[in-house]
């Protein structure tokens, strides 16, 4: 299953009132594992950069002046995301801006039913707690020291980690890509073993229930599979004859 974790930076908060997209960052996940495949672009918004927006992402009007305009990158962007699920934090904001840009070109908007909003996921999993990305990273112990200012690609990478945690925790960790003797690179995944309890949980069965069960097994044939469990239990507890 392919998913694209996506983030944008913009000139402001009003997609339908003159603000524009200035950066798009995407990271690819397959079966909830980062593949290392990314898409990243800076975009000339064809307008001035408000001081408030510059303070957030640090992208100046001068820096963006020689970057491609949205119609020049639209095809490459749409090819990268294809028809796969998009994972976005506060999705209405980013999709609103991207669809406003596509609308200016007369292109088909991105359907909202293909989007997973991690804010909604966080609010369901942690009701009453903050769903801000920084707070979620802190909750899950994700290193955010590189996040001096907002950046679309970095925020997508961090959001991918948060997304994995929101779904129940990361079960595998990407180690890297290796080249097999000049052949195509292959993905190497190191599966992380689940933590083990130092002691098994105590049984919930009463002594009478255990006795009834043993009597029931005794009435079965010698090849009954339950006999093997009784032998193993006796070895572990030292109660065997």
DSSP element (H, E) containing 178 = strand 172-179
To which residue do tokens 């009597």 refer? 215
Question: For the range 56-63, what are the long-range contacts, defined as Cβ-Cβ under 8 Å and sequence gap of 24 or more?
Answer: 56/9, 56/149, 56/150, 57/9, 57/22, 57/23, 57/149, 57/150, 57/151, 58/149, 59/9, 59/22, 59/23
Which residues, other chains included, contact 236 with Cβ-Cβ below 8 Å and sequence gap of 6+? Answer: none
CA atoms in the 13 A half-sphere facing the CB of 64: 25
- Per-10-residue mean pLDDT of the chain, 241 residues long, equals 96 92 96 94 96 92 96 98 97 97 96 96 94 92 73 92 87 45 47 49 72 78 65 50 44
Give the pLDDT of residue 215.
Answer: 80
Q: Quickly count: other Cβ atoms within 10 Å of residue 37's Cβ.
A: 14
Out of 89, 126, 150, 213, which one is annotated catalytic? Answer: 150
- For residue 101, give the H/E element and its range: helix 91-104
Q: Does residue 150 carry a catalytic annotation?
A: yes
66 contacts 91 by C-beta, under 8 angstroms: no
pTM for the whole structure: 0.69
Domain ranges of the chain: 2-191, 197-241
- Superfamily of domain 2-191 in CATH is Ribonuclease H-like superfamily/Ribonuclease H (3.30.420.10)
Exposure on the CB side of residue 54, measured as CA atoms within 13 A: 10
């Amino acid at each position: 299953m392919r998913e694209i974790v996506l983030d944008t930076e913009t000139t402001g908060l009003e997609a339908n009132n003159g603000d524009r997209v200035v950066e798009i960052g995407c990271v690819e996940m397959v079966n909830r594992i980062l593949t290392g495949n990314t898409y990243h672009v800076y975009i000339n918004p064809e307008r001035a950069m408000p001081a408030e927006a510059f303070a957030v992402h640090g992208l100046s009007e001068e820096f963006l002046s020689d970057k491609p305009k949205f119609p020049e990158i639209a095809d490459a962007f749409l090819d990268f995301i294809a028809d796969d699920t998009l994972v976005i934090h506060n999705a209405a904001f980013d999709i609103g801006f991207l669809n406003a840009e596509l609308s200016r070109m007369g292109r088909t908007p991105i359907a909202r039913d293909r989007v997973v909003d991690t804010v909604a996921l966080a609010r369901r999993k942690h009701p009453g707690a903050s769903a801000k990305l920084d707070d979620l990273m802190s909750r899950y112990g994700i290193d955010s020291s590189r996040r001096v200012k907002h950046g679309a690609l970095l925020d997508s990478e961090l959001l991918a980690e948060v997304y994995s945690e929101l779904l129940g925790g990361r079960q595998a960790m990407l180690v890297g890509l290796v080249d097999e003797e000049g052949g195509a690179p292959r993905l190497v995944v190191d599966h992380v073993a689940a933590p083990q309890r130092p002691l098994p949980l105590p049984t919930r069965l009463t002594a009478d229930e255990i006795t009834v069960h043993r009597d029931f097994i005794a009435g079965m044939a010698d090849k009954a599979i339950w006999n093997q469990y009784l032998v193993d239990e006796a070895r572990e507890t030292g109660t065997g004859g």
